[in-house]
Amino acid sequence: MAIPMDFNSRRLKSQPLSSPCLKPGASRSFSGDNSLQAPEIPKTRSPSTPTSDTSQPPTRLDLADAPHISSLSDRTSELATLEKWIVQEKCTLATISGLSGIGKTALSLHLIQKIQHNFQYVIWRSLRHSPPLETTLKNLLKFLLNQPEIELPTNFPDGLSLLMEYLRKNRCLIILDDVQTILSSGQLAGNYRPECESYSIFFRQIGETTHNSCLILNSWEPPREITALKGENSPVRSLQLKGIGAAAAEIFRQKSLLNPETWENLINTYRGNPLWLKIVATTIQEIFRGRVADFLKYDMLFLGEELAATLHPQINRLSELEKKLISQLSREANLVSIEQLLQDADFSPSDLFDGLQSLGRRSFVEIEEQENETLFNLCPVVRQYVISNPVC
Ligand SMILES: Nc1ncnc2c1ncn2[C@@H]1O[C@H](COP(=O)(O)OP(=O)(O)O)[C@@H](O)[C@H]1O
Ligand SMILES: [Mg+2]
C-alpha cells in the first residue's frame, strides 16, 4: 500500500541545522520589561543530533508546521502552570482555549522551548484545514515511526491503536493547533463537525487511558470531552487564556506609542488581547502619530475593519441561541443577572443556562460574582462588534 501524498516528507528528513542546537531552557531570558524573549528552536532535530547534555537522549523535534516564535510578555504564571501539569503531574491531555489573538499559539511555542527536554519526541501540527482523523494519525505516526518503508494503517481504529502503543512506550509531546476547525458551526461550543466526530474517540482515548505522553490542544473553545474529563485530580486539564495585562505596554513601546499614562485604559478596553492591541496600536501610530491621548478623545470603542475581521468567523459560528443571547447582552447597560435576563428576554431557564455556558467557554462572556450573585457581561470589544454588526 502506498503512503498517501499528503505527507510532507520535507519535515521528516534530518535536516542540517543552520544554528547549533540550544540546550533546552538555555536561551530563555526574562528582561526587565517582563517579556520572554523569543528563543531559537530548531525546526527539526534528529535523535542523532548532538546536544551539550549527554545524560539524556536528545529530543526529536518536528516543528516544521509551527509559526515563527516571537517574544512573549507576561505569561510566566501560565507557563509555570502548564509545566506543573505536564511535567510534574504527568497530565495526558491539556487544552489551551481563548479568543483568536489571545496568544495560544505563542504560549505553546514557548512552552515547548521550556519543557521539550522532558520528552523523546515533540511534534506540532496545525489542524487549520480540518483534516480527517486518519490524515492526522498517519501524519503523527510517520514522524514517530520515522521508517518510510513501513505501511501505515489507513483506517483510524488501527492508526489510533498504533499511535497509542507509541504514546505508551515513549514520552511524546504532541501539540495540535487550530483545533476549532474540526468543531462545528451553528451548535453550542465544543461539538464536532460531522466528518470530524472520530476525533472525539481519539481525545477520549488520550485522556482516559494510561500512557507516558501528553497531547495539547489549542482551540477557540475546548472540545466537549475536555469539559467532561477535566479536573484537579484528573490527567485532563484546561487553561482558558486571559489577556496579558500591564505587560502589554511592551507592545506599545515597540510601536513607539506616546502618553504612557493612558496605556492602562487602552489595555483594559481591549482586555489585554495582544493581537487586538497590536492592531489598535498600529492605527494609533498611523493616524495619530502615536498620540494615544488624542485617540482616546473620541469616546468610542474603535474596532476598525482588521479587528472586526478577526472576530467575524468566531461570531459567525455561534448557534442561533447564542446569537440571540449576545444580541440581548449587547442591549443590557451593564453587568446582568440570570434573573434579569429572564425578565428582559424570551428565554427558557434551560436555554439561558446552555447559552451562557457556551458563550463562557468561547470567552465571549465575562462572569463576575457580586454579593452572592453571578453577573454576566459581554466582553466590550464583542459588544461593540455586535452593536455595529447585528447578528439577529
Ligand atoms: N504574551 C504575549 N506578548 C506579546 N505578544 C504576544 C503575546 N501572545 C501573543 N502575542 C502576539 O499576538 C499575536 C497573536 O498571538 P497568537 O499566539 O497567534 O494568538 P492565538 O493563537 O490565540 O490566535 C501574535 O502576533 C503574537 O506574537
Ligand atoms: Mg493560534
For 84-107, what is each residue's pLDDT tens digit? 999 999 999 999 999 999 999 999
- The reply to whether the predicted model has a pTM over 0.85 is yes
87/81 Cα distance (integer angstroms): 10
| Cα(392)–Cα(389) distance, integer angstroms | 9
Using the mean position of ligand 2's atoms as its centre, give its distance from the Cα of residue 140 in Å.
20
All residues at 6 or more sequence positions from 261 whose CB lies less than 8 Å from its CB, including other chains: none
Listed in sequence order, the residues at least 6 apart from 305 whose beta carbon sits closer than 8 Å to its beta carbon are none
Convert the pLDDT of each residue in 187-230 to its tens digit.
999 999 999 999 999 999 999 999 999 999 999 999 998 988 99
Cell, residue 105:
499559539
Residue 70 CA: nearest ligand 1 atom is 27
Q: What angle do CA 138, 142, 147 make, to 5 degrees?
A: 140
**What residues flank ion ligand 2 with Cβ within 5 A?**
105
Q: Is the CB of 103 under 6 A from ligand 1?
A: yes
Ligand 1, from 30, 35, 65, 70: best to mutate by most atoms within 8 Å of Cβ?
A: 70
* Atom of ligand 1 lying closest to residue 251 CA: 4
Q: At what angle do helices 198-208 and 133-145 cross, to 10 degrees?
A: 50
Cα 284 to averaged position of ligand 2 atoms, centre (Å):
25
Dump strand ranges (E) for the chain: 35-36, 44-45, 60-62, 72-73, 93-97, 121-126, 172-177, 214-219, 236-240, 336-337, 365-370, 373-378
Q: Which atom of ligand 1 is nearest to the CA of 250?
A: 4
- Closest C-alpha among 98, 81, 279, 381 to residue 106: 98
Name the residue of 33, 75, 96, 102 whose CB sits within 8 Å of the most ligand 1 atoms, as the mutation to test its pocket: 102
Q: How are strands ordered across the β-sheet holding 214-219? A: 44-45, 60-62, 121-126, 172-177, 214-219, 93-97, 236-240
Nearest residue CA, atom 9 of ligand 1? 103
- Counting every residue, how long is the chain? 392
pLDDT of residue 135 exceeding 80, the answer is yes
Domains of the chain, start order: 9-240 (3.40.50.300), 246-299 (no CATH), 311-388 (1.10.10.10)
Predicted confidence (pLDDT) per residue in 231-261, tens digit = 888 999 999 999 998 999 999 999 999 999 9
Residue 106 Cβ contacting ligand 1 at under 6 Å: yes
Contact 151, 16 (CB under 8 A): no
